Chain A
Amino acid sequence: EVQLVESGGGLVQPGGSLRLSCAASGFTFSYHSMNWVRQAPGKGLEWVSYISSSSDIIYYADSVKGRFTISRDNAKNALFLQLNSLRAEDTAVYYCARETISVVRGLMREDYYYYMDVWGRGTTVTVSS
């Protein structure tokens, strides 16, 4: 069964740190780029960070740049998110999500379509004093 399981969330004081983990199983983890997406209580989805399959390309949302660090260990089928300098507004459920590419081949061109097709159940981060 294809599965992602997050862990590492908890209650932390403002300015504190946490390390989130996402364990992947049931698919070839090293083939896929991965993402972290979060959802604050009662709010919508917010993309947080992206890491390519070989870790050579990394992106962050402006709201977390300089404070969060994404990484992965393909040998252990694991994705990580280090959260530093946490703020109250970082309180959210954090999901890891697998990114998949679909290729559509036409007569003259190829189009690549991206989507997040596997999601974990999420881990809750609460930043409060």
Chain B
Amino acid sequence: DIQLTQSPSFLSASVGDRVTITCRASQGITSYLAWYQQKPGKAPKLLIYAASTLQSGVPSRFSGSGSGTEFTLTVNSLQPEDFATYYCQHLNRYPPYTFGQGTKLEIK
């Protein structure tokens, strides 16, 4: 099965900062990667799919890039509501659907 490793696991930043989270796959997955945001006590929310396609309604300060084994999620000009935990996920035609271990973005 494909493993996804996110880095860093914890990230401290300030409002207005630009942050980048990396997700590395144990083998090539072309662009079959999604990113989710989760706030405490809430369900995950889809941000990006196909590695770089922004889900409808998601602010344009979020962007995704990468293909193969290395992917990044970038948040430009952090807003207070962006402090949350972020997960990458590999999905293809059929499971297993692997998640990364998560990156918790905290206010500095």
Q: Which chain A residues have a beta carbon within 8 Å of chain B's beta carbons?
A: 35, 37, 44-47, 50, 57, 59, 61, 95, 97, 99, 102, 104, 111-117, 119-122
Contact = CB atoms under 8 A, between A and B. Distances in A.
Contact of B44 (A61, A104, A112, A119): A119
B94 A50 contact: yes
Nearest to A119: B43
Contacts of B32: 113-114
Interface of B: 31-32, 34, 36, 38, 42-46, 49-50, 53, 55, 87, 89, 91-102
A47 B96 contact: yes
Contact of A113 (B31, B43, B45): B31
B95 A47 contact: yes
Nearest to A60: B95
A45 B87 contact: yes
Nearest to A115: B49
A44 B99 contact: yes
Given A50-B94, A59-B94, A113 B50 contact: yes
Say whether chain A's binding surface is mostly helix, strand, loop, or mixed.
strand
Nearest to B85: A44
A59 B101 contact: no
Given A45-B99, A119-B45, A112 B93 contact: yes
Contacts of B44: 37, 45, 95, 97, 116, 119
Q: Which of B38, B44, B92 has the most CB of A within 10 A?
A: B44
B31 A47 contact: no
